[in-house]
Amino acid sequence: MTAPSTLTLAVPKGRIFERAVDLLSRAGLPVHLPAASRALRHHFDGVTLLELRNQDVPVYVDLGVADAGIVGRDVLLESGRSVFEPLDLRFAGCRLSLIREVGAAGPITRVASKYPRLTRAYLQERGLAAEIVKLSGNIELAALTGLADAVVDLVQTGGTLRANHLEEVDVILESSARLVVNRVALKLKREQLRPLIERLRTLVAEGDA
Ligand SMILES: Nc1ncnc2c1ncn2[C@@H]1O[C@H](COP(=O)(O)OP(=O)(O)OP(=O)(O)O)[C@@H](O)[C@H]1O
Ligand SMILES: O=P(O)(O)OC[C@H]1O[C@H](OP(=O)(O)OP(=O)(O)O)[C@H](O)[C@@H]1O
């Protein structure tokens, strides 16, 4: 029998990181939160964690450099990458919404977002020919300053909207953290990936993810 090969997993830094590492640990992988350092690749017994920007997780998984990863559905759909998505992990819940200043009624001619592809698809579906401006963060400021007459961004508690006199005009999609798996790795590393998916599925079903 050959020794099992290393499993490489892509995990985004930021708000998902700690929860994702903890979940993988509770699913039986010998991983733990790395000590604070500048290291971006963390080696454990038979498992390597790659600490990436959210947007890069689907890229690493699709191209097979990571066998699997954890990423928000919002980022996954925006990426357009064709990865296997076996499991909704049911944390990092939020929605992607069209947002305007409270009471704004004029036409939408320019929309700012970190999600230009999803914004384009949404506007096209409604026959709206607005210009899309890609921004990188604090998207709500674009609506406040007049850079755009609407923005497409994430809403969770609604606290950011309330603090900035903005309102949700339409919900475009619901998001939560997803497990994504490279389609070839699913076959080649089946003996490692299948049990991992099933253990994660059990944790989610028990409300423990
Ligand atoms: N306020 C929120 N509440 C719950 N989940 C959120 C919230 N904001 C974002 N998320 C989810 O968590 C994911 C990661 O969010 P995070 O804030 O870490 O990303 P970011 O720092 O904006 O990304 P990056 O800097 O890599 O562009 C998002 O893709 C989304 O799925
Ligand atoms: O509805 P709420 O609970 O207020 O959450 C929504 C906010 O959280 C996210 O921002 P984040 O803090 O990640 O900063 P960013 O805009 O730089 O991405 C998102 O982009 C919203 O601004």
- The answer to whether 33 and 205 are in contact (CB under 8 A) is no
Q: Give the model's pLDDT for residue 95.
A: 98
Q: How many angstroms separate the CA atoms of 169 and 30, rounded?
A: 44
Q: Give the model's pLDDT for residue 3.
A: 62
- Position 80 pLDDT exceeds 60: yes
Return the best residue to mutate from 99, 115, 154 for the ligand 2 pocket (most ligand atoms within 8 A of CB): 154
Instruction: Give the pLDDT mean for 3-22.
Output: 93
Q: Give the model's pLDDT for residue 199.
A: 98
Residue with CA at minimum distance from ligand 2 atom 19: 154
Instruction: Give the pLDDT mean for 99-118.
Output: 97
Residue with CA at minimum distance from ligand 1 atom 9: 154
Q: Give the model's pLDDT for residue 5.
A: 85
| Residues 6+ positions from 79 with CB-CB distance below 8 Å | 55, 58, 59, 62
Residue with CA at minimum distance from ligand 2 atom 12: 138
Cα of first residue to Cα of last residue in the chain, in angstroms, is: 33
Q: How many angstroms separate the CA atoms of 17 and 180, rounded?
A: 15
120-147 confidence digits (pLDDT tens): 999 999 999 999 999 999 999 999 999 9
- Position 93 pLDDT exceeds 70: yes
Dihedral (CA of 24, 29, 34, 39) sign: negative
Instruction: Give the pLDDT mean for 97-104.
Output: 97
Residue range(s) of every CATH 3.40.190.10 domain in the chain? 7-93+175-206, 94-174
Structure tokens at 153: 């961004």
- Position 34 pLDDT exceeds 70: yes
62-78 confidence digits (pLDDT tens): 999 999 999 999 999 99
pLDDT band at 208 (very low <50, low <70, confident <90, very high): confident
Ligand that lies nearest to the alpha carbon of residue 19, given by its number in the listed order: 1
Ligand that lies nearest to the alpha carbon of residue 78, given by its number in the listed order: 1
What is this model's ipTM?
A: 0.96
The pTM is what?
Answer: 0.96
148-188 confidence digits (pLDDT tens): 999 999 999 999 999 999 999 999 999 999 999 999 999 99
Cβ of 54 less than 6 Å from ligand 1: yes
Q: Tell me: domain 7-93+175-206, CATH 3.90.870.30, correct?
A: no
Please state which CATH class domain 94-174 belongs to.
alpha beta
Average per-residue pLDDT for the chain: 96
